[in-house]
Amino acid sequence: MARALRLIRRRLIGSIPVLLIVVVLTFLLLQSASGDAVDAYLLSMGGGDAAIAQSLRQSYGLDQSEIARLWLYLSSLARLDLGWSVAFGRPVADLILERLPNTLLLMGSATALAFGLGTSLGIVAGARPESTTDKVVSALSLILYAIPSFWLGLVLSIVFAVQLRWLPSSGIETIASGKSGFARAADIALHLILPVGALGVIYMALFLRVMRSAMAEVWKLDFVAFARAKGLSRSRIVLRHVARNALLPLVTMLGLQSAAMLGGSVVIESIFAIPGFGRLAQEAVTGRDTPLLIGIILTSALLVVLVNLLLDLVYALLDPRVGAAEEGA
């Protein structure tokens, strides 16, 4: 436990320079953009004259030099202040906290779906490499992998929401329904099915394939032959010896994919009108809302860092050899 805490602290401190790089790069990226927050704002107003633009720039501090603004931003960040969103006229932290639960819900469910279903089917396919089951499952997973998630999202919504009317077409919950407690949770779950499906399927396919090929590799190892020589049942060999070891690369993979999944949610959130990070980011970019975009990217990055940290702990639980290397370090 103490070791885990030490690991957490070390990793969090270690990620500070990384997050700093993220912040500075994002800042520079938006600085090099054509058009600034005022241009975007004037546009949303339907026009305005040069004097308005000038006074707006002054009030947003956009008339200062880039270095000065970066410094200002970083020093407020050091006080854990994420700044003020120009496009929304609200504190960035509020906006992020408002959207974070939806994103976490979407990502979490999609990850759970992708990982759960992906590994299970991966085990089914990998239990007998090169068997017919394996070939069919692998081929299907390849097709699912290659279907763009936005297209899948649109089709799912048409089929299940518009044609069959089984599920709501968009949103995170029934608007202004006044539901609470369990009824609300059920309502949200219902709304999540389609977006989670659209987002999760591609990763499910990916996890399936990784699991399958990892199992194929494990099958070749001596300890599997030894397990066979011990006369163990096939299911025990598949689950306890082969799948258990094949899970390790999958955990690593999950960490690497967490950032990609966050990115993938941009399109899904816009198709299913889910107010999450992806859509907020899109609005931040179109609004040239530097503090907001940095805030989002920073939070996403932090999220990825945390997920990876968590996965490292899980990995250490799954692989006893890791603990040895970390011991006392």
Q: Whats the size of the chain, residue-wise? A: 329
| Dist CA 202 CA 264 (whole Å) | 10
Which of 2, 13, 89, 235 touches other proteins by CB under 8 A?
89
Residue 23 burial (CB count, 10 A): 19
Of 152, 93, 140, 139, the closest CA to residue 294 belongs to 93
Contact 118, 206 (CB under 8 A): yes
Helices (H), the chain: 2-31, 37-45, 50-60, 66-78, 92-126, 132-146, 149-156, 181-219, 222-229, 234-236, 244-271, 277-286, 290-318, 320-326
Shortest separation between residue 263's beta carbon and other proteins, angstroms: 3
| Dist CA 253 CA 267 (whole Å) | 22
Contacts of other proteins in 198-217 (CB under 8 A) = 213
DSSP-derived letter for residue 242 is I
Q: Which stretch binds other proteins (CB under 8 A): 2-10, 70-78, 86-94, 179-187?
A: 86-94
Q: Which stretch binds other proteins (CB under 8 A): 72-80, 118-126, 181-189, 321-329?
A: 321-329
Residue whose CB is less far from other proteins, 76 or 169 = 169
| Dist CA 317 CA 168 (whole Å) | 40
Instruction: Determine if 101 is a binding residue for other proteins (CB under 8 A).
Output: no
Instruction: Determine if 147 is a binding residue for other proteins (CB under 8 A).
Output: yes
Which of 59, 63, 75, 186 touches other proteins by CB under 8 A?
59
Residue whose CB is less far from other proteins, 117 or 140 = 140
| Dist CA 79 CA 19 (whole Å) | 15
Contacts of other proteins in 6-25 (CB under 8 A) = 15, 17-19, 21-22, 25
* Residues whose CB is less than 8 angstroms from the CB of residue 172 and which lie 6 or more positions away in sequence, other chains included: 102, 105, 188, 191, 192, 274, 275, 276
Contacts of other proteins in 152-191 (CB under 8 A) = 154-155, 157-158, 161-162, 165, 168-172, 175-176
Q: How many residues bind other proteins (CB under 8 A)?
A: 121
β-bridge pairing 90-91 and 84-85: antiparallel
Instruction: Determine if 1 is a binding residue for other proteins (CB under 8 A).
Output: no
Contacts of other proteins in 238-297 (CB under 8 A) = 240-241, 244-245, 248, 256, 259-264, 266-267, 270-276, 278-282, 285-288, 293, 296-297
Which of 87, 201, 238, 309 touches other proteins by CB under 8 A?
87
Which of 3, 93, 98, 140 touches other proteins by CB under 8 A?
98
Which of 61, 226, 234, 239 touches other proteins by CB under 8 A?
226
